[in-house]
Chain A
Amino acid sequence: MVIEEILVYGAISGGVYALLALGFTLIYGVSGVVNLAHGSFYMLGAYMFFIFGTLGFLGSEPILASILALILSVLFVGILGGIMYRLVIHPIIGDDVAVMVATVCVALIFQQLVLLGFGTSFPPVRWPEGSFVHESTQILGVTVQYSRILAFMVSLGLFGCLLMFITKSKIGKAMRAASQDREVAMLMGINTERLYMLAMVVSAMLAAVASIFITASTSMSAGAYMWLHPLGLSFSIVILGGLGSIKGSLLGGFIIGYAEQAVAIAVPEGGAIIGVVPLTVMLLVLLLRPKGLFGKRVELEE
């Protein structure tokens, strides 16, 4: 029974985590920015969903309202990401250390703002009552809620969309060019500033989407410190998969998803320390194979 649980839940987690990590690796690959506020976008996605959902102006049809809330939240967070890029990151884009410190600052600011606005309460983030997502089905003998299956499918779907976007579209190609060699991309006339901003917007939106689907299907509530776990997940997955690699985010997401579920299910009192899992995996990767699975940036020489 335990094995099946791990298999099923691991897969579901994996899919959604991959999406989360994709955002992180996207902005790093394209612009070299290690966005430590990525977890904050995750958190804000959940909070905005709550806010838009309960403001009541979205009509009385719950499913429609949920969808609208979802779209609005994601857009809002995306715009926030763009603003953050323009105001905070762009002025200091050359200095890697300063950028990292600045993004942590932003993350802490968001945390404090949430604390101020909501105190220590945990606003609910859930799909409308009575809708089918709260039903469950059986996969491999394990009871799984539809909400989680939905999360899984949406995540993979979005992942696929984004993959197509990056490989087929002009902007996507520009992003790939920038991620391979920034200077050359600039020389070829690509407006890197706007490209980076776009990457940030997309990255933030991905985090928000992942957040809403994960939160609504698992903890169903938001908290001011909820940005730490996704941040840890994001960078662990990305390091495992290789900074800047999309394939890596996918595979890494699944590996870490499985590892987490394995610990949560098989280890006594495991649920409390699942946060340790991604970080430990990351440490192991950095010890044994810093490049990760598909990493491109080898830290051999400058």
Chain B
Amino acid sequence: MHLLEVENLTKRFGGLTALKNVDFHIDEGEMVGIIGPNGAGKTTLFNLISGLLKPDSGAVKLRGENITGLAPHKIVNKGIARTFQIVRPFRHLPVIANVMVALKSPRGARKIEWLKTMERKAADMLEDVGLSELMLEPAENVGHGDLKRLEMAKALATEPDLLMLDEPFGGLNPLETDFLIKSIMRMHLDEPSRGIVIVEHKLYALMQIVERVIVLHQGEKIAEGTPEEIAKNKKVIEVYMGKGM
């Protein structure tokens, strides 16, 4: 049984078809990337899986259970967590409180070890992503790169079985990019059964991490394979570079 199954997912916005019959699956412990030119429907796909949008047709299944159209918070509590392309911190709360919100969710609260307090666990998570110094700083005072890490910590707080990252490398300088690549690899080693899906534009960073790549274009899946295969795939090159190269 696959960890995540996306079956013939279709979503229309008025006259525009954002996603058309998208179909793929993710297994436990897999690292998958989703790429495609702008407007291909990648974020819409994430929104559909995480419950922010309801599809017009098709289904999303988590470990065989149909989770299509469930409320977003329920989906999180079933084990899918995501980050946002444009970070969404809780501006008025200090960094540690940001993580505590996720720990207050039913799933997050369940995952706190015996004898550990919520604050302790939040502090530990912040240490894992390297944000210990900024623990008590209001999120609105924190810089972009650190906010991205906070976003990650919030997603990890519920210990998801499937982690979805929406353009995690956006706006990061080479040093931060490198650090993030290492963090994601370490995450993978720490939790081998966790599936990770990453939508990303920075292909050179993405290709180092993932085992499999899915390519979307104008709402449809046009290719799927290992990074090497995709890099050589004529159709993909065409779509990114335009014809006649």
Contacts and interface: CB of A to CB of B under 8 A. Distances in A.
Do A and B share a complex?
Answer: yes
Contacts of B53: 300-301
Nearest to B54: A300
A213 to B, nearest CB: 38
B52 interface: yes
A95 to B, nearest CB: 15
B53 to A, nearest CB: 8
Interface in B8-55: 52-53
Contacts of B52: 300-301
Interface residues of B, number: 2
A301 B88 CA distance: 13
Contacts of A300: 52-53
Nearest to A301: B52
Interface string A261-302: 000000000000000000000000000000000000000110
Nearest to A302: B88
Contacts of A301: 52-53
Interface in A183-225: none
A245 to B, nearest CB: 15
A87 B198 CA distance: 49
Nearest to B72: A301
B55 to A, nearest CB: 13
Interface in B52-69: 52-53
A191 B120 CA distance: 52
A291 to B, nearest CB: 14
A300 B53 CA distance: 8
A300 B52 CA distance: 8
A301 B73 CA distance: 13
A301 B52 CA distance: 7
A214 to B, nearest CB: 38
A101 B58 CA distance: 45
A6 to B, nearest CB: 38
A301 B53 CA distance: 9
A242 to B, nearest CB: 15
A254 B53 CA distance: 34
A301 B13 CA distance: 14
A66 B53 CA distance: 56
B12 to A, nearest CB: 14
A169 to B, nearest CB: 26
B117 to A, nearest CB: 33
Nearest to B47: A301
A190 B52 CA distance: 33
B204 to A, nearest CB: 32
Interface in B185-232: none
B54 to A, nearest CB: 9
A184 to B, nearest CB: 16
A300 B11 CA distance: 15
Interface string A219-238: 00000000000000000000
Interface string B111-140: 000000000000000000000000000000
A300 B48 CA distance: 13
A300 B51 CA distance: 11
4 contacts: A300-B52, A300-B53, A301-B52, A301-B53
Interface of A: 300-301
Closest CB pairs A-B (n = 4):
A301-B52, A300-B53, A300-B52, A301-B53
